[in-house]
Amino acid sequence: MSPHALDEVAASSSTATPEVLSGYTSVKVFSDNAKVEDGFIISDYAYENAIVKRIPGGMYEVTPNKVDYQFKVDMKVPKTGLMMVGLGGNNGSTLTATILANRYGINFRTKQGLQKPNYYGSVTQASTLKLGVDEDGNDVYAPFNEILPMLHPNDIVIGGWDINSANLADAMARSKVLDFDLQRQVAKYMAQIKPLPSIYYPDFIAANQSDRADNLIDGDSKWDHVQRIRRDIQDFKAKNELEKVIVVWTANTERYAEIIPGVNDTAENLINSIKTSHDEVAPSTIFAVACILDGVPFINGSPQNTFVPGCIELAEKSKSFIGGDDFKSGQTKIKSVLAQFLVDAGIRPLSIASYNHLGNNDGYNLSAPKQFRSKEISKKSVVDDMIASNHILYNEEKGNTIDHCIVIKYVPAVGDSKVAMDEYYSELMMGGHNTISIHNVCEDSLLASPLIIDLTVIAEFFSRVTYKKTDSEDDFEKFYPVLSVLSYWLKAPLARPGCEPVNGLNKQRTALENLLRAFVGLGPQNELKLEERLW
């Protein structure tokens, strides 16, 4: 099927049909629960859950619950731009070079031989999901991005801001991430991209970053800064004839902002505080507010608390997507799997000690205590819901916490090759103990950059999804502004106020897969495998 087949099907189909064509080329879904109509996939989905009431004495009353929803997916993928805050940093320059290499088919040589460009590390571009089973009961997998129409990274238009004025060719060379032969070939494209001036409030990032800050937006008015960012986005969109823009913060880690009543606790107070240039409004929050006011999805890839309560409330009022916090790449992603494995196995982790050293600018910034504290909080929170899930292992008698130690050291010699060492010390049956030690060396930016692709692709996709309850006469509406489906890629996932975030990696992935299945009329992923268990 050609990439245009979806449009052809949509144009020719205006009545209900059990056939739904989805994806770019390969997946055809036959379902009575879905139809293609006027360029949209419209699906019916019965969301089944169980409502549990805790009864004193350790008893539970469980009542099955079902709510019928209808989903509507716009099949047209818009021309989309990605604007990164921190465009000239390791992640920004690495991602831009990768997209250019893939777009232009640039092969390059390393000491291992000829390399072809790829998007390894990206879930949307380099992973598969299970569709079902074949006639023999064997699992069948398809590329993740072929079940529904999704943005391809080769088509993304790149732009953004940085406090440093270096063009991206020089920024790429400074980062020392990519092999020289690749840098040599993409430099002519990279040199044409120069970051827009950005916001610099010295109190929020480490003092050691001041030497880089030569590309700054003028003035001290924080409200003027909001308006400037809005104009930058509008100008970028118009210049490149874009239909949509996604903004991702991949700049320095900031210190935590204090939550102060009357300053940033409500949307109204936050806007007033920006207009009076209050000291406790961070640069990342300025970017977030600018995006929210214009309905531009904003994702925070660093650990600071960009989304203060007033910022979340503003997103709710504007119905504008936000997501965060902190890219989940190597060590923490392993932790979200391993800790869950131990708890689910009935083993009681007592302590997790995590040590890192790295030599890139992220590590340099994190050598300052306040910025390190932001990272420490995001790394520790990843096991919170796992502890809460098992009151047999964690309770008032045994204790409700894990001793969790985080150490990050700046070692310039290792550059972007971050070294991570973890020790999991757990209690076994009858007073026994188990220690799991992991030593992991990763190229930090080559793990983090693909996450930006996925966050952009999924955020753009969900901006084309609406829903309503089947028995409702209300119009279709967008998902809740805190886009929790992005949690798979984020260390400290932002949750709807009053809801606990989900940190377990497998749970996050399953939720995302099942949503995509629901949009094409398929039920949730089923691993009963009755084909091999019954006569």
Strand locations in 12-106 (E): 19-22, 27-30, 34-37, 40-55, 59-74, 80-85
- For residue 437, give the nearest of 338, 508, 523, 311 by alpha carbon: 338
Q: What is the DSSP letter of 467?
A: E
120 vs 446: CA distance, rounded Å: 9
Phi, psi of 7 (to 5 degrees): -65, -40
Q: Annotated catalytic residue: which of 362, 416, 418, 422?
A: 418
Cα angle at 214 between 208 and 220, to 5 degrees? Answer: 95
Distance separating alpha carbons of residues 520 and 477, to the nearest angstrom: 18
The pairing of strands 322-324 and 244-249 is unpaired
Confirm whether 418 is a catalytic residue.
yes
Q: What is the DSSP string of 153-178?
A: GGGPEEEEEESS---HHHHHHHHT-S
Coil, strand or helix: which one is 150? coil
162 given a catalytic annotation: no
Per annotation, catalytic residue among 237, 328, 333, 491: 491
The residue from 326, 385, 416, 422 that is catalytic is: 326
Annotated catalytic residue: which of 194, 222, 375, 379?
375
Strand duo 59-74 + 40-55: pairing: antiparallel
Burial (Cβ within 10 Å: 0-12, 13-18, ≥19) of residue 4: exposed
Is 491 catalytic? The answer is yes
Count of Cβ atoms closer than 10 Å to residue 502 Cβ: 17
Distance between CA atoms of residues 102 and 118, nearest Å: 6
- DSSP of 255-296: PPPP--TTTTSSHHHHHHHHHTT-TT--HHHHHHHHHHHTT-
Give the C-alpha distances (Å, rounded to integers) separating 343 from 216, 332, 333, 350, 387.
48, 16, 16, 11, 8
Dihedral angle of Cα 143, 148, 153, 156, to the nearest 10 degrees: 180
Residue 420 identity (one-letter amino acid): A
Catalytic annotation, residues:
326, 375, 418, 491
